[in-house]
Amino acid sequence: MTTNAELAARFEEFADLLEADDVEYKPRAYRRAAENVRAHPIPIADQVRAGNEAAIEEIEGVGDAIGSKIVEYVETGEIEELEALREELPVDMADLTRVEGVGPKTVGTLYRELGVSTLDELEAAAEAGEIREVKGFGPKTEENILDNVEFARTVGQRQLLGEARPLADDVLAYLGSVDAVDRVEVAGSIRRWRETIGDVDVLAATEDAEAVVDALRSWSSVDDEIESGPAKASVRVGEVRVDLRVVVPEEFGSALQYFTGSRDHNVRLRNYAIERGMKLNEYGAFDLGDLETEADADEAASGTDHVAGGQRAGERVAGETEEGMYEALGLSWIPPELREDRGEIAAAEADELPDLVAIEDIRGDLHTHTEWSDGNNTIDEMVAAAEDRGYDYYCIADHAEGPGVVADMGLSDTEILEQVEAIREVDAAADIEVLAGIEANIDADGEIGLSDEAIEALDLIVASPHSALSQGPEEATERLIRAIENPAVDIAGHPSGRLLNEREGLAIDAAALGEAAAASDTALEVNGNPRRLDLWGSAVQAAIDEGATIAINTDAHRPATLEFVRWGVHTARRGWAEPGDVLNAWAFEDVRAFLH
């Protein structure tokens, strides 16, 4: 099945190849189309198959030319023009552009000048000092490439949570509808809501393993079968690997606990069990009683697979439910987001697990965009979407001009004042509270560059880093703290500036940021855009430990991406956040009082 994400990826590649060829304007049109295709709520391939071409051209940014390429791709699996471009520039574009500072234009130049087509060749050319000799390049570019090539190598195999989770939901819905399936749940990193996912693990309980394995293998969304056995199957859907394991209902809870991981959580939990004369594994929780021997304990601790018989020794006290597994150890059930061995077992033992924030707790979004900067919609349209979500309040925070913001896209001080007026008008007519905000840019020194007049007129200032994203840890932390301590700043937006699988971002010290944020009543953002998730779990936990408040924002550029709150909430949960820690889970008057 051709997914929207796959179509979008083809158009992004198209844009890259055109850009590498120095073609103007067209790349932007393809990128825009890619973005809209990716965000389209229903599978475009289905519409092609239904012959509904009018619906395709209704997608924003998709006209005749791109529309017919969509049809061509869905029908033939290829786009002829794209194939021609690929032949002209036979490079590993996706790999190469993953190196920070290397864009499609650079790839084009380096291919033409030096014949560089792979990461290895890029690294070799940089090591040999050839890149600095190319016109327009210098020693600094070459050094940057050498610094970043390793990171580019290690990423790229992992999927973003925001891409893998919707697929996991589909798998769950599909297997849930299969008669032979008794229970089904995701496990592994996807159940822990990690920001990137190696593969989607799925666990099903049934008395008829064969029927369930066959059901997955014959699912219409499956592109490839990787392997299968009597009680498991691995398939590929789009770019995602799905691993299904099938167990009997009596062992569903223990298997779910085991396969949810993380590995570190499981090791600590098993040791905890051993200290209490128990053994845990995927088949259950066993009271060893007199059976306990050192060999048993070693075996249980090692986590390697053994014959099932030995694994089932002892009196079985739990295994049907996951709650029962934890209960057998005297612990309350630990939410999967916490299972990273960051103190959750001790907290469960002391009955001090956090009461985690949930999506229903979120009452507003405090960092969103409109067409006034680089968003797609009007203020009215975005506010209407916020009302539809049932929010109590909503803040427009378009880009101010400044370092890292594309020229002409950011608002000048005068334009900010104009937009504040426009927002006030929308607010007067809206059922919810609409705040006039801005996303200011934290420059390399930590300054935000807004006029006093603009600061005075605005309700809320998000300050985010968009440039100088390769500073060292100390410089970066000082820079962010400077912005956090600025009395005008209310929220530090996507504090590290990282882009998952694309750039590492600033190596900030989250505890130090949290301390500064707590002292100056500035919130730290958990940006819910699935490419960012910035801050992330461990950083949120460190900041909250210092008393910081966080804000879970979507950074939405269109109504559909207000949905990113889902990724933001689960990321905050990975950071142990409770509703009281989350600014936009508060009542409006409390938010108002928090703002400077």
Alpha-carbon distance of 275 to 258, in angstroms, equals 18
Q: Which does 531 bind (CB under 5 to 8 A by kind): ligand DGT, Zn ion, Ca ion, none?
A: none
Phi, psi of 499 (to 5 degrees): -125, 120
Q: Which of positions 461-500 make contact with Zn ion (CB under 5 A)?
A: 464
- Under the binding rule (CB under 6 A), the answer on residue 464 touching ligand DGT is no
Task: Indicate the DSSP class of residue 290.
Answer: G
* Residues 111-140, mask of contacts with ligand DGT (x by CB under 6 A): ------------------------------
- Under the binding rule (CB under 5 A), the answer on residue 561 touching Zn ion is no
Smallest distance, ligand DGT to C-beta of residue 155, A = 13
Q: What is the DSSP string of 6-46?
A: HHHHHHHHHHHHHHHTT--SHHHHHHHHHHHHHH-SS-HHH
**Which of residues 263 and 306 has its CB atom nearest to ligand DGT in the complex?**
263
**Which of residues 203 and 585 has its CB atom nearest to ligand DGT in the complex?**
203
Q: Which does 303 bind (CB under 5 to 8 A by kind): Ca ion, Zn ion, ligand DGT, none?
A: ligand DGT
Count of residues of this chain found to bind ligand DGT when the rule CB under 6 A is applied: 14
Smallest distance, Zn ion to C-beta of residue 551, A = 13
- How many Å from the N-terminal Cα to the C-terminal Cα in the chain? 50
The stretch near ligand DGT (CB under 6 A) out of 8-16, 189-197, 285-293, 535-543 is: 189-197
Taking CB under 5 A as the criterion, the residue among 100, 123, 142, 199 binding Ca ion is 199
Q: At what angle do helices 510-520 and 537-545 cross, to 10 degrees?
A: 50
Q: Which of positions 241-260 make contact with Ca ion (CB under 5 A)?
A: 243
Smallest distance, Ca ion to C-beta of residue 200, A = 7
Q: Which of positions 280-339 make contact with ligand DGT (CB under 6 A)?
A: 303
Q: Which does 464 bind (CB under 5 to 8 A by kind): ligand DGT, Zn ion, Ca ion, none?
A: Zn ion
Smallest distance, Ca ion to C-beta of residue 418, A = 49
Q: What is the DSSP string of 502-544?
A: TB------HHHHHHHHHHHT-EEEEE--TTT-BS-HHHHHHHH
CB 148, CB 115: distance < 8 Å: no
Q: Which does 141 bind (CB under 5 to 8 A by kind): Zn ion, ligand DGT, Ca ion, none?
A: none
188 by Cβ neighbours in 10 Å (0-12 / 13-18 / 19+) ranks as buried
**Which of residues 119 and 442 has its CB atom nearest to Zn ion in the complex?**
442
- Under the binding rule (CB under 6 A), the answer on residue 262 touching ligand DGT is yes
Alpha-carbon distance of 346 to 453, in angstroms, equals 51
Task: Tell me the pairing of strands 232-237 and 196-197.
Answer: unpaired
The stretch near ligand DGT (CB under 6 A) out of 128-136, 190-198, 327-335, 505-513 is: 190-198
- Starting at the earlier edge strand, list the strands of the sheet with 200-205: 183-187, 200-205, 240-247, 232-237, 224-229
Smallest distance, ligand DGT to C-beta of residue 131, A = 34
* Residues 500-529, mask of contacts with ligand DGT (x by CB under 6 A): ------------------------------
CA angle in degrees (0–180, nearest 5) for 379-384-387 = 130
Q: Which residues pair with 527 in a beta bridge?
A: 534, 553
Q: Which residues pair with 465 in a beta bridge?
A: 442
* Residues 176-195, mask of contacts with Ca ion (x by CB under 5 A): ------------xx------
CA 325 to chain centre: 30
- Under the binding rule (CB under 5 A), the answer on residue 201 touching Ca ion is yes
Ramachandran assignment for 20, one of left (phi > 0), alpha (psi -120 to 50 degrees), beta (any other) = alpha
- Under the binding rule (CB under 6 A), the answer on residue 36 touching ligand DGT is no
**Which of residues 101 and 198 has its CB atom nearest to Ca ion in the complex?**
198
CB 198, CB 154: distance < 8 Å: no
Q: Which of positions 530-549 make contact with Ca ion (CB under 5 A)?
A: none
Taking CB under 6 A as the criterion, the residue among 16, 19, 35, 201 binding ligand DGT is 201
Smallest distance, Zn ion to C-beta of residue 404, A = 8
**Which of residues 267 and 511 has its CB atom nearest to ligand DGT in the complex?**
267
Alpha-carbon distance of 348 to 351, in angstroms, equals 5
Alpha-carbon distance of 109 to 130, in angstroms, equals 13
Smallest distance, Ca ion to C-beta of residue 352, A = 29
Question: Shortest CA distance to 510 belongs to which of 548, 475, 483?
Answer: 548
**Which of residues 11 and 326 has its CB atom nearest to ligand DGT in the complex?**
326
What stretch of H or E contains 205?
A: strand 200-205
Residues that bind Zn ion (CB under 5 A): 464
Binding site for ligand DGT (CB under 6 A): 188-189, 194, 197-199, 201, 258-259, 261-263, 266, 303
Interface residues toward Ca ion, by CB under 5 A: 188-189, 198-199, 201, 243
